[in-house]
């Protein structure tokens, strides 16, 4: 079993804001992250799949195909978007990096080829904060 990781990027705006709470409570809990006019990040996305190398190619899967699948099913939906307003799979959820990683897992997993399993979604919000989700 070998693990293969592809790193992709996207830029997005978001805010941390619970609509069931007053603005005061949102600011008390989320601080500057609750700014009503939004802020944003350069996100780094690490997608790891695992499988057995194929004898003919040496690949567990073609990393160019993995990159295309991530673009089609994940980053095209997130890049240069507002995570709170523009992303159907985040509707009704808090726009935390935790929930975003779980959402990316769910978007990607139906589209991966049979010969690999999705192992991990790792998502950097800043160079000093990241989350990992293993399903």
Chain positions contacting a copy of itself, by CB under 8 A: 1-9, 11-14, 16, 18, 20-21, 29-33, 35, 37-42, 48, 53, 55-60, 62-64, 79-82, 85-86, 93-99, 101-102, 126-134
How many Å separate Cα 66 from the centre of its chain? 15
Which of 8, 33, 41, 119 is an active site residue?
Answer: 33
CB nearer to a copy of itself: give 111 or 134: 134
Does the annotation count 120 as an active-site position? no
| Least spacing, CB of residue 110 vs a copy of itself, in Å | 20
| Residues with a known catalytic role | 33, 80, 125
């Amino acid at each position: 079993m070998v693990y293969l990781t592809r790193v992709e990027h996207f830029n997005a705006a978001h805010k941390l804001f619970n609509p069931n709470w007053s603005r005061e409570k949102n600011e008390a809990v989320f601080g500057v992250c609750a700014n009503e006019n939004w802020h944003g990040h350069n996100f780094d996305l690490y997608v790891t799949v695992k499988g057995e190398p194929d004898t003919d190619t040496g690949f567990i899967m073609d990393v160019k195909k993995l990159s295309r699948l991530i673009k089609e099913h994940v980053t095209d939906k997130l890049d240069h978007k507002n995570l709170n307003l523009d992303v159907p799979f985040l509707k009704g959820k808090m726009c935390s990096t935790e929930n975003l990683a779980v959402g990316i897992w769910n978007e990607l997993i139906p589209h991966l080829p049979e010969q690999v399993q999705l192992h991990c979604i790792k998502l950097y919000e800043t160079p000093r904060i990241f989350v990992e989700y293993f399903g």
